[in-house]
Structure 1
Amino acid sequence: MADQNPAIPTYFLVLILYITRFVSTLGKSMPRTTLLPSKLQNHDLANRLHLDPDSIESVSSDYGNIVHKRPAAVLYPTSAEDIKTLIKFSYNSSAPFTIAARGHGHSVRGQAMAYNGVVIDMIHLKNRRKKTGVIVSKSHSLGYFADVGGEQLWIDVLNATLEHGLAPVSWTDFLQLTVGGTLSNAGISGQTFRYGPQISNVFEVDVITGKGQLVTCSPNINSELFYAVLGGLGQFGIITRARIALESAPKSVKWVRMLYSDFSAFTKDQERLISINGRKQNNALDYVEGSLLMARGPLNNWRSSFFPASDIPRITSLATQHGIIYTIEVAKYYDDWTQHTVDKELEEMFKGLSFIPGLIFAKDVSYVDFLARVRSEDNVPHPWLNLFLPKSSIEDFNSGVFRDIVLKRNITTGPVLFYPMNRNK
């Protein structure tokens, strides 16, 4: 087992989601001062540029539901060539306009919108493909990989790669997101401590730059663009293809949650669990996350129903007593070869942890059910906040934010998630 007190610097990603009905009017009353150039309206792209009210309204807000911006038009592309043509037209125009690529619009501050410009509907490109946008291959130098269209959804990537017994290793909690969208951010979930975010598991990307040029880039070819566009919030180009690392897919998941009343014990145990680390180690965990349970909040929320009904009164009583209960959530993947040893491996990993005695819960689910545990119908537009915090500040954050703000103001309408991660990933 790895060192129980690792010296590796640790970050905690805190994800705070407030599911509300708040809708800002920012942008709705602003006058439209810019129109698309008349030459564009007479261009070959004109029949794929939609200016009707329904099309405009559909892309005038994003999933954060805070910022609202109306574009002049929406492009429904039939190929990457349409996207190139549009961007090149704007770049060479005497009156360039804003362009934004949009998948399902899962941004917070309007990154998927283009005020008085053009929004590119990437999902339309996905739907227009006659063949799958996911091609699985293997090479001597890279091993298995998938070439994936930037407009493809991660759930479709999962289903396509599973047909070959393979899957990517790093995910987001919600899979109804486009590949280009999450790679333009980071792509973080409970696997990040071990495999890094999704952007750390990409061999190569095709990018349409701000000049309308299609460029293939990797760590060795056009590397500046490669590292700029991965996590670049769409400001350095539009990803049209990504070559993603694959490994053998497991069949099943042992899914465990442990409850804590002490924040310090909670974070120390998270660090300990991610220190049992190593990409090829069979005894390492595959997923580590944390969350908050509030006295007046739902114990089984939109992310998943987990706790047995018989234990909910006890958990509710503890949450009422302490105000906040902290939960560590872990997953260990297994298959037919390891199903008889997975329980013993977890038992060894959990020795010495400081969770509340008797409040550890486990269940077995399929690999697909675990990854797709957040359902589309339960995920409604809402503001949220992502914060990277160093280990040195996490105690202050608990006392200053969770205790003095969230608890005292009785904010119980959305989950708060903790992703512990090693900084070197």
Structure 2
Amino acid sequence: MKPSLVQFLKVFLLLALGRVTNTQVPDQDVLVSLGKLPLDGHFSFHDVSTAAWDFGNLSSFMPAAVLHPGSVDDIAATVRHVFLMGEHSTLTVAARGHGHSLRGQSQAAGGIVIKMESLRSVKMRVNSGASPYVDASGGELWINVLHETLKYGLAPKSWTDYLHLTIGGTLSNAGVSGQTFRHGPQISNVNELEIVTGRGEIVTCSPEQNSDLFHAALGGLGQFGIITRARIALEPAPKMVRWIRVLYSDFASFTEDQEMLISAERTFDYIEGFVIINRTGILNNWRSSFNPQDPVWASQFESDRRVIFSLEITKNYNPEEAENMEQEVNNLLSQLRYMPLSLFHTDVTYIEFLDRVHSSEVKLRAKGMWEVPHPWLNLIIPRSSIHTFAREVFGKILKDSSNGPIMIYPVNKSR
């Protein structure tokens, strides 16, 4: 191999791992001008290292300043100030929610990081009328939204599997979970947004008002504006959840059952799949805590390192509906082709199910196993290609790795 090619590969690998940074520190006059802006909140210029990491833990970019906004006007004033510096300015701005970006998207090398969680002081407002909704700050955590809306017997329709994320953060991506097949991602359940544009203007938008901006910002990765408020559609919240897991050794049966369930008129409320190597544990992984009632184990599941597919499904219900729920669940399960003796289930409250990943996070943090690199890849694969993908990826690559979850969300593209 030629030396020049070796050098190229070394540089490529370093860049791919996100360890090479090219941070331009702004002039002192620029920082002084930021400090002079009339704000309800404040800037930090020295203690900014916490804004130089994210959940991915693959990239680290030190900002020059962190804005702790006391109001939406603070964000608008800061963005406007940077915009007026002109196109030759190298100062960048990044909105940071709970820091769950993977490759430094919530960081700004030598720029300004806006700490959106500082806006959580803005009071949420729940409208429980005929078409219920909640107005909440873009920096509010979804778990707090859930606690507030449950006071009215309501909850958002679509979730992510981890609720300790900000509204603006997930709406800037998509917000996908096991309810997506029915309600669409979180961005399909928003009635209105308030956005600070790249010019520092505060704009209200919806499907009827400033619709281009509305649709661009939802899933726009923050490139079309900073989401500072969202109006989120709500529905009546159930009290209980029947939480079920079944196992498959055959991918064709697994994916065909998923497709059948998301196409049925009466079906489960949450449908998600996992790809598992036996040695990594069947019932539990870092994403959730699942304590089945009356589990039946078979030695064939324990240690042969076969690839196994787990279908996780739930049925929402209220206590007075338990008998009907049992009948519906049993009818649906009778149509599935999972491995005999692999049915596990438990009953939990609605909030316990939705917040299940956080309980595992607490355990992993206590063991020092949370703040580690999290390489992550999301792919949308058409139905026509899923069997080829599974054969090439799950059949050949997976067996050499036992780290991290591999999830399969069945979705309807019409949603």
- TM-score by length of structure 1 reads 0.86
- Say if 1:24 and 1:65, in contact at 8 Å, map to a contact too: no
Other-structure match for 2:281: 298
Which of 81, 87, 91 is the equivalent residue of 2:73? 81
The amino acid of 1:389's aligned partner reads: I
Query: Cα 1:349–1:31, aligned 2, differ >3 Å: closer, same or farther?
Result: closer
Question: Percent identity between the aligned chains?
Answer: 45
AA matched with 1:32: Q
Distance 1:46 1:40 in 2: 13
C-alpha distance in 2 between matches for 1:45 and 1:71: 19
Q: Which residue of 2 aligns with 1:420?
A: 410
Q: What residue identity is the alignment partner of 1:100? A: A
2:49 aligned with 1:68? no
- Which amino acid counterpart does residue 414 of structure 1 have in structure 2? G
Equivalent residues in 2 for 1:81-100, closer than 5 Å: 81-94=73-86, 95=89, 97-100=91-94
CA contact (8 A) 2:174 2:185 kept: yes
1:14-29 equivalences in 2 (<5 Å): 24=17, 26-27=19-20
Q: What is the aligned partner in structure 1 of residue 225 from structure 2?
A: 237
Name 1:359's counterpart in structure 2. 342
Quote the Cα distance in structure 1 between the aligned partners of 2:95 and 2:78: 12
Alignment of 1:1-20 (within 5 A): none
8 Å Cα contact 2:23/2:109 also seen in 1:
no
Residue deviations 1:299-338 (CA, integer Å, cap 9, x gap): 32122233659858626x3364461110111011001331
**Distance in 2 between the 1:35 and 1:343 partners?**
67
Q: CA RMSD in A?
A: 2.1
CA 1:236–1:344 in structure 2 vs 1: closer, same or farther (change >3 Å)?
Answer: same
Matched with 1:391 is 383
Answer yes or no: is the 8 Å Cα contact 1:184–1:230 preserved in 2.
Answer: yes
In structure 2, runs of 5+ residues without a counterpart are 1-15
Q: Equivalent residue for 2:312?
A: 329
Q: How does 1:147-186 map to 2 (within 5 A)?
A: 147-186=135-174
- Corresponding residue SS for 2:384: helix
Matched, 1:192 2:180: yes
Q: Is 2:109 the counterpart of 1:115?
A: yes
Task: Trace 1:236-385 onto structure 2 (pairs within 5 A).
Answer: 236-277=224-265, 283-299=266-282, 300-306=284-290, 314=298, 317-318=300-301, 320-321=303-304, 323-375=306-358, 376-377=361-362, 378=364, 380-381=370-371, 382-385=374-377
Q: Tell me the amino acid that sits aligned with residue 108 of structure 1.
A: L
Conserved 8 A contact 1:27-1:69 = no
| CA distance in 2 between partners of 1:352 and 1:76 (Å) | 53
User: 2: CA distance between counterparts of 1:355 and 1:172?
Assistant: 26
* Distance in 2 of aligned mates of 1:297 and 1:35: 51
Q: Distance in 1 between matches of 2:96 and 2:68?
A: 11
Question: Could you tell me how far apart the structure 2 residues matched to 1:347 and 1:46 are?
Answer: 57
Q: Secondary structure at the match of 1:384?
A: coil
Q: In 2, Cα distance between the equivalents of 1:230 and 1:74?
A: 24
Shift of 1:32: 3.2
Q: Report SS of the residue matched to 1:345.
A: helix
Cα deviation, residue 56, structure 1:
1.8
In structure 2, C-alpha distance between the alignment counterparts of 1:403 and 1:153, rounded to whole Å: 38
Aligned-pair CA distance for 1:412: 0.5
Which amino acid counterpart does residue 189 of structure 1 have in structure 2? S
**Aligned match for 2:189, one of 201, 211, 236:** 201
Rate the CA distance shift 1:197–1:174 in 2: closer, same or farther, 3 A. Answer: same
Give how far 1:298 is off: 2.8
Structure 1 unaligned spans of 5+: 1-22, 278-282
Q: Distance in 2 between the 1:59 and 1:286 partners?
A: 37
Going from structure 1 to structure 2, the CA distance change for 1:176 and 1:76 (only over 3 Å counts) comes to same
What is aligned with 1:19? none
The SS at the match of 1:327 is: strand
Range moving further from structure 2, 185-194 or 95-104: 95-104
Q: How far, CA to CA, are the matches of 1:113 and 1:399 in structure 2?
A: 37
Whether 1:106 and 2:89 are equivalent positions in the alignment is no
Q: Which has the higher contact order (CA 8 A, sep 6+)?
A: 1
Q: Which amino acid aligns with 2:204?
A: T
**Separation (CA, whole Å) in 1 of partners of 2:27 and 2:170:** 30
- 2:125 equivalent among 131, 135, 147: 135
Tell whether the 8 Å contact from 1:217 to 1:223 is kept in structure 2 after alignment.
yes
Amino acid of the residue matched to residue 276 of structure 2?
Answer: L
